Chain A
Amino acid sequence: MAAEPIVVCHQVSKSFRRGGEEIQVLSSLSLEVPEGQFLALMGPSGSGKTTLLNLIAGLDRPTSGKILVGTDLVSSMSESQLATWRTRHVGFIFQFYHLLSVLTAYENVELPLLLLPLSAARRKQQVLTALELVGLTDRMHHRPGQLSGGQQQRVGIARAIVTNPTLIVADEPTGDLDARSAEEILKLLGELRKGLNKTIIMVTHDPKAADKADRILHLEKGKLVEDTAALSGAAS
């Protein structure tokens, strides 16, 4: 029996105004992502994949259409509601990690938890659990400047999962890493998906990274042109 869709996009369109011109980035796109699926979004630059990711993650609102994540109609939430929703339901992994340089790894992972009504002890427990999952407990008091690229991305992943979100979105998570580090990160993402049954949506240019996913969506000029199961992801 197929898992229930955790993400549903229905006839989603997004356009931007640049100067006096209206630029259509996404055009009547519909899509469903089952719970626990590892989905890769691919396409050339300007195809709309990052925009789609931003809309699903509640970073932006569509010009038209509906986006449902779990039971929440994300597309009709206000900015303030989206901010609150993101804290609890979405974990972000960025290409360039975007850790706060003045905070230690521990403090960076703890950042989203400061928005939740948790006790200090509970926060500590969740942070340590997240760091343990990514294998960085021995580096938790180091600042980002003292960590390698791969380690920084692990901290980014720990920060993304620390709130136990419904959905993890990753924007080119291996884009700034060497091959070996990239492989480790992708392996980690796969483990998270299997071990915690997390739904992961990843934007990537890298076919090797995409191959780790269960399903690959190709976008071109704002439209879904191909929807395939990844070779290795489908096998698992």
Chain B
Amino acid sequence: MGSYAFWFLVVVGSVVGVAFFALLPFFAFLFIGETTLNALASFNPVSRAAKFASLMFKNLRRNLLRTSLAYLAIFVLVVVVVGVWSILAFLDLVTSEKKRDLKAIVTERWQIPSQMPFAYAQTLSQGAPQKEGDLIVGPEDSMTWQFFGGYTEKERDKQSRDNLVFFFAMEPRKTLTMMDGIEELTPEQLKQLAKALEIAEKDKRAVVIGADRLASMNKRVGESITVYGLNYRGIDLEMNIVGELPKGRWGQIGIMNRDYLNDALDAYPSTHKGERHPLAEKSLNLVWLRVPDSEGFKRVANQIMTSSTYTSPAVKCETAAAGIGSWLDAYRDLIWGMRWLLSPAILIVMSLVVANAISISVRERRGEMAVLKVLGYKPWQILLLVLGEALLIGAISGLLSAGLCQILVNGIIGGVPFGIAFFPSFEIAPNAWWWGLSIGAATAFVGSVWPAWTAQQVRVADVFSKVA
């Protein structure tokens, strides 16, 4: 019972703490806004407008609890929408076709995971030219991928996620020219990586492992490990860690020389009564080809798909965007739901939250609205006053929510690890500030239109009439 009470207090305390830190910038914004308007009230061209605008700020301070709750509700909902839209934006980006330097991916046609014989590698790497005039892909514009995973502990009961490592077996030097995200590395990181890959080119046992994975395995550069094959059962490889990949996008994987894996597969029969490894003819998983443009892609794709070499198993050639799109097909319903159900539902809820808060405020202030009308304020000015208050809450909460979320997720946490295949951790999109401001303001506007309309329709004679 005591521990339940403890955790309950921890949760409540955390929520209160987060709310407090979320509210602080909001109150700072209100204070700065009102102070600025008061200062502007001394300048004649904008004096009256500044005074009118400051009335909106003052009205928000009328019931701080209600204003804070409306702000926090929008704040939380904007965080969710911004997160969802960031993921959707990233998926849209990776599934949209590029115009130049397209990447063609060759995989097995009818099976996932793709498992092709390594014998396909040489001709596929050139784009499968068959006759004169066919497009030939240069050696530095192609890369083969083989996947080798395993544990660094031999005994089953000691094997866990912490000592599991997953390698891309390839030509190490091509990491620098073909891998996505290399341009994000700092010059120093690039220099260190290049040095390590040069060693891996010459020494097939040399490997480069991501910093996050090294931390999980409690290993460092300079140490040696033995990886007991998981997908290649019976193949255990001793490796020397000569470098590390930076945290983040490639932080969990390793790069090894493909010759090491292929040599181990070739040597397997000698230690297994002449029997070939079950994956001996299935070790090639992907081939990447860089082509100049969509026309080049069409030519290479045609060359590969019409070649009689790749029939058992058959292969397919698609752009990276299309490939990712196909892979995402399994998540199509989920993505559709996020885009067309979840996001609109959240936006509607936000509008309702604002509508509720503003309606209560307007109902409480009918007398004040009537006084303003009596003094000569026009209905459109009353409407503007109420809309302005709603827009202030919506826009400020949206902007702060998206901005703070971006700073926290991208700047401090370094992205949210999504754990889907090779996708990196997801970051909040650069547009998030604009999204937050827009959806906060727009939903506040939609939610406050009706209450503002009823406010401007207050009949002064009715409000001040005596009961007969």
A and B interact physically = yes
Residues of A within 8 A of B (CB): 45-46, 50-51, 54, 59-60, 79-80, 83-88, 92, 94, 98, 100-103, 110-112, 114-115, 119-120, 123, 159, 171
B466→A120 contact, CB < 8 A? no
Distance in Å: Cβ of B267 to nearest Cβ of chain A: 84
Distance in Å: Cβ of B43 to nearest Cβ of chain A: 7
Contacts of A103 in B (CB 8 A): 55, 58
Flag whether B378 is at the interface (Cβ < 8 A).
yes
Contacts of A80 in B (CB 8 A): 378
Task: Please report which residues of chain B, range 9-46, place their CB below 8 angstroms from some CB of chain A when the two chains form the complex.
Answer: 41-44
CA distance A46 to B368 in the complex (A): 24
- Interface size, chain B (Cβ < 8 Å): 32
Task: From A46, A80, A83, A94, name the one whose CB has the most chain B CB atoms within 10 angstroms.
Answer: A83
Task: With A83-B378, A120-B41 as known contacts, state yes or no: A94 contacts B464, CB within 8 Å.
Answer: yes
CA distance A115 to B51 in the complex (A): 11
The 8 Å CB contact of A102, one of B62, B377, B378, is: B62
Contacts of B379 in A (CB 8 A): 79
Flag whether B219 is at the interface (Cβ < 8 A).
no
A84→B464 contact, CB < 8 A? no
In the complex, what residue of chain A is closest to B59 when comparing beta carbons? A102
Given contacts A80-B378, A92-B375, A101-B62, 11 further A-B contacts (CB under 8 A): A50-B465, A59-B460, A83-B377, A83-B378, A86-B376, A110-B51, A112-B375, A114-B48, A120-B44, A159-B375, A171-B464
Distance in Å: Cβ of A215 to nearest Cβ of chain B: 22
- 6 closest cross-chain pairs (CB), A and B: A87-B376, A46-B468, A102-B58, A60-B461, A120-B47, A98-B371
A100→B51 contact, CB < 8 A? no
The 8 Å CB contact of B377, one of A46, A50, A92, A115, is: A115
Distance in Å: Cβ of A175 to nearest Cβ of chain B: 10
The 8 Å CB contact of B374, one of A59, A79, A120, is: A59
Task: From B58, B368, B461, name the one whose CB has the most chain A CB atoms within 10 angstroms.
Answer: B461
A84→B466 contact, CB < 8 A? no
Task: With A54-B464, A102-B58 as known contacts, state yes or no: A119 contacts B375, CB within 8 Å.
Answer: no
In the complex, what residue of chain B is closest to A96 when comparing beta carbons? B367
Q: List 15 A-B contacts (CB under 8 A).
A: A46-B468, A50-B464, A50-B466, A51-B461, A54-B461, A59-B464, A60-B460, A84-B376, A88-B376, A100-B55, A102-B55, A112-B376, A115-B376, A119-B44, A123-B47
The 8 Å CB contact of A114, one of B51, B368, B371, B373, is: B51
Distance in Å: Cβ of B42 to nearest Cβ of chain A: 6
Flag whether B52 is at the interface (Cβ < 8 A).
yes
Contacts of B55 in A (CB 8 A): 100, 102-103
Flag whether B61 is at the interface (Cβ < 8 A).
yes
The 8 Å CB contact of B375, one of A51, A60, A86, is: A86
B376→A45 contact, CB < 8 A? no
B466→A45 contact, CB < 8 A? yes
The digit string for B384-417, where 1 denotes a CB below 8 A from any CB of A, is 0000000000000000000000000000000000
B468→A115 contact, CB < 8 A? no
Contacts of B51 in A (CB 8 A): 110, 114
Task: With A114-B52, A119-B47, A120-B44 as known contacts, state yes or no: A102 contacts B61, CB within 8 Å.
Answer: yes
Task: With A59-B461, A86-B375 as known contacts, state yes or no: A98 contacts B466, CB within 8 Å.
Answer: no
CA distance A99 to B367 in the complex (A): 10
Task: Please report which residues of chain B, range 51-78, place their CB below 8 angstroms from some CB of chain A when the two chains form the complex.
Answer: 51-52, 55, 58-59, 61-62
CA distance A102 to B465 in the complex (A): 24
The digit string for B344-387, where 1 denotes a CB below 8 A from any CB of A, is 00000000000000000000000110111111111100000000
Distance in Å: Cβ of A184 to nearest Cβ of chain B: 23
The digit string for B438-468, where 1 denotes a CB below 8 A from any CB of A, is 0000000000000000000000110011111
CA distance A102 to B364 in the complex (A): 13
The 8 Å CB contact of B43, one of A54, A84, A120, is: A120
CA distance A46 to B62 in the complex (A): 35
Contacts of A111 in B (CB 8 A): 372, 375
